Structure 1
Amino acid sequence: MNFNLKANISSTPFNIPEGVYLAGYGHRDKPNIGTHDALHTKAVTISNGEKTIMIISNDLLGVNEEIVKRVVNGIKEGFDILEENIFICATHTHAAPDIFDWEFDKRYSQMDLNKEAKEIIINTIIENGLKSTKDLKPVQLAFGQSKGEGIASNRIDKNALVDNLVSGIFLIGEDNLPLCTMVNYACHPTVLGAENLYISRDYPGVTQSLVEDHFGKDSICMFMNGACGNQSTRFTRRSQDFHEVERIGEILFESVLKAYDNRIAIEDSTISVVKEYFQFPRKQLPSREEAEAYYQTMTEKLNMAKRNLGIAPEELRGIITKHQGAGITLELLEVLDDLNLNAPIQLVRLGNLVFVGVPVELFNDYGFLIKEKSKFPNTIIVGYTNGMLGYVYTPQSYEVGDYEAWSSPFHINTGEKLVEKVINLMEEL
């Protein structure tokens, strides 16, 4: 084996107290009542002797510009690394603290206990990141893929195309076992619904724990979500409890093992990074009269659906989210012009792999396009990187009134502009 890289990885749980409100569901109005499984921050530092990168994944709904800047500055104070070489993403669990004003909702993120949790989270990410810079060990890079059947579906149309590719990025140590396993899969971690009041990593947490148990105590697994804007377990889950979290997580775990069996060593030890701000195009909103009329229509549909005792839970959930999207459009009429939609796109090349970090919830349509147009044989889309500005949706999604499209601050053509930008940035790697 050619150990042409050095790396180390670290993992630390967040110590989140009871009483902190959770993010992810706007109509959840009660604080957490305990921790089912601890949220973690995980960092891997990788060096080829000339360049060093740090990849950080956090069991959070997302990160915002303030959190990223504070983490980067804290890490740079303790370790000599370029700002653009620190890659920070979130798994998007909907059972983590509300620590920034997502969907323009400030009810909970500004509460004292939530602000305290935010400080705990930021400090823990910094400390854990610095821990990963110590005692780098020789590793070989390997990459494998498999299919994760029965996990994600298109959450808007269960018959639409789904990206079920499971990618495993493995840093294999001299003991011939993975020091680090990075799992990339595109699926909202929303097995647990708004009724859940326990802190949890959702299904990615189960997968990570099983991978770590399988490969041994010195092995750490981190999860990186993909282009999952329109992918979730809405049509595949059998319930919304922790038994189902286990079932879904175990399916993904088995797929990770298949990806490991399919792995191919990557001899190329090139490391390069490009991080550039992109002005996301601003949406052209409907008039207030049109927005109010649509909201009224969706309110009537929702009331009718609630009276239908035979309606399937997933169908009701779709109507609820469309109603929420119509409501957020009314809020956008007030705040859209003041939103900062200038955010970084970050590409990290590791051998013949490229991580494409985007600060949005990207529809799988555009994930497929980026992979298709990429000059790299192995392209990993990582959502919720350096921010969580909103959904990048398709024109068709807006036309039928989907929640994702109507809640987004972005213009209807943002997807094609973003794909073009990413492909152009690849030329700089």
Structure 2
Amino acid sequence: MISCGAKQIEITPPIGVPLAGYGSRIKGSEGIHDPLYAALVYLNDSSREILLVGLDLVAVDADFAAQTRMRITQETGIPEDSIMILCTHTHSGPDGYANAFPREGSDAGDCLRQNTMEKIAGAARWSKASAHKATIGLGSEHVSGVGLNRNDPHKKIDDQLTVVRIDVEGAPLAVLVNYACHPTVMSADNLQLSADLPGAVREYFRIHYPTSILLFMNGAAGDVSTRFTRRTQGFEELKRFGAILFGSILALMQRTQLVADDRIISKRFPIGLPVRDFPSETEAREVLASSEKRYEELKRTSTEPAELRKAETKILGARVQARFAASLKGMKTVESEIQIVQLGDLTMVGIPGEPFSGISLALKASFPDRSLMVVGYANDYMGYFPMGEQEQTYETLKSPWAASIGDFLVEKCVPLIQQVQGENRNV
């Protein structure tokens, strides 16, 4: 028997805080379009317990995740290894939660981080105390019209939407939504705090299910965005995308299949990420100069916004590469973690950054008879994890990892998934 408790709390920061997500944006927030939330879902199968914490933030670093886990464990007794901290990756939220690498932008400050941790710990206590007997339904389908590969719209992506419906007394208490797409409908010009795409989906969800909680679990969104599907970058366009995605969520909620095996388990595994060989500082500056020249040429000749944005972001990536060439010189590996959560036949793979779609597709292909969700932006932020990319793009230039990082992660994750699945069957 499984029991579930859930809680949603607001974590909107004060107006004026620096905003995360766009290196070119230097102004602080000037207002609030829609609140930012933490959504918590607690599960207990009588022998093990799991807590999923979804935050409307661009990302969190390992220190924030570790301290938050520690506070939750102090408040609730939930083991730290059974807690997953994940982010929606909104680019219209506060800065200062992900300090893994040298970056552009300012910190929101320790007070804001600490306040958010305390709010989460209190909500975790409430979630566990309010748990009731539950049933779980699972469904998935492919969604079109929202995300595409943001450098090549014809390239295959993982466009699968997965919905986990958790009912108490026949009504949905919480719904987990896994879909991969950068929440960058709003541009760097936006100075209003917003959860972007996940927030738009949540607003439609609230109208239909006012007493239920939606936890948006972004997927392998490293190379997926609305760059080639959006008509404009504004709040009306945000509503349009939210309606498309929520329509699929609503349809899936009506036809989820009951999960008969509701045993749960969570394991965290350390992983050493291989650092790539960087160009010399001189070569890195040459790449930056070439990127800037190409952008200026396109500004004069191209009328296609998506191509212009691609060239503009390549400049940003080249700037980061130049910083990495100096700051990570001589480093071979950087430590982080992978988390595997098993809920019956459903596997959640928490990856500490921005995995490309190819990683998700490869992992799902490795387990064709199982339901699998890749969860990005989980427990840490280690940047982009490309998969099989040859072209120099914003994402590959900004990634500090070896060119084989995608295959490396797949090869590391497959046996870990098998291990956790085996342990869950033997409970």
What TM bracket, shorter-length normalisation? over 0.9
Say which SS state the counterpart of residue 275 (structure 1) adopts. Answer: strand
Cα drift, residue 44 of structure 1: 0.7
Give, in whole Å, the separation in 1 of the partners of 2:150 and 2:104: 27
Give, in whole Å, the separation in 2 of the partners of 1:67 and 1:199: 21
Question: Is 1:213 paired with 2:199?
Answer: no
Q: 1:404 aligns with which of 372, 375, 395?
A: 395
Which residue of the partner structure matches residue 302 of structure 1? Answer: 295
Say which SS state the counterpart of residue 81 (structure 1) adopts. Answer: coil
Which residue of the partner structure matches residue 129 of structure 1? Answer: 124
Which residue of the partner structure matches residue 175 of structure 2? Answer: 181
Q: After alignment, is 44-53 or 284-293 more displaced? A: 284-293
Give, in whole Å, the separation in 2 of the partners of 1:344 and 1:114: 25
Give, in whole Å, the separation in 1 of the partners of 2:100 and 2:311: 21
Say which SS state the counterpart of residue 87 (structure 1) adopts. Answer: strand
Which residue of the partner structure matches residue 424 of structure 2? Answer: none
Cα-to-partner distance string for 1:136-165 (whole Å, 9 max, x where unaligned): 111101101122210001101011112221
- The unaligned stretches of length 5 or more in structure 1 are none
Aligned pair in 2 of structure 1 residues 339, 11: CA closer, same or farther (>3 Å)? farther
Which residue of the partner structure matches residue 116 of structure 1? Answer: 111
Give, in whole Å, the separation in 1 of the partners of 2:397 and 2:242: 31
Question: Is 1:257 paired with 2:250?
Answer: yes
Which residue of the partner structure matches residue 25 of structure 2? Answer: 28
Matches within 5 A, 1:308-387: 308=301, 310-337=302-329, 341-374=334-367, 377-387=370-380
8 A Cα contact 1:162 1:364, kept in partner: yes
Matches within 5 A, 1:247-286: 247-286=240-279
Cα-to-partner distance string for 1:358-392 (whole Å, 9 max, x where unaligned): 00200101110001102761101100001111111
Cα drift, residue 118 of structure 1: 2.3
Give, in whole Å, the separation in 1 of the partners of 2:201 and 2:46: 32
Q: After alignment, is 227-236 or 321-330 more displaced? A: 321-330
Say which SS state the counterpart of residue 271 (structure 2) adopts. Answer: strand
Aligned pair in 2 of structure 1 residues 46, 152: CA closer, same or farther (>3 Å)? same
Give, in whole Å, the separation in 2 of the partners of 1:287 and 1:106: 21
Give, in whole Å, the separation in 2 of the partners of 1:203 and 1:83: 30
Question: Is 1:90 paired with 2:87?
Answer: yes
8 A Cα contact 2:206 2:212, kept in partner: yes
Give, in whole Å, the separation in 2 of the partners of 1:164 and 1:418: 20
8 A Cα contact 2:61 2:100, kept in partner: no
Question: Is 1:239 paired with 2:226?
Answer: no
Q: After alignment, is 114-123 or 22-31 more displaced? A: 114-123
Which residue of the partner structure matches residue 43 of structure 2? Answer: 46
8 A Cα contact 2:9 2:39, kept in partner: yes
How much is the aligned-residue C-alpha RMSD, in angstroms?
1.6
Identity of aligned residues (%): 31
Which residue of the partner structure matches residue 412 of structure 2? Answer: 421
8 A Cα contact 1:164 1:186, kept in partner: yes
8 A Cα contact 1:273 1:346, kept in partner: yes
Cα drift, residue 283 of structure 1: 0.8
Cα drift, residue 340 of structure 1: 7.2
Say which SS state the counterpart of residue 419 (structure 2) adopts. Answer: coil
Aligned residues: 418
Cα drift, residue 103 of structure 1: 5.3
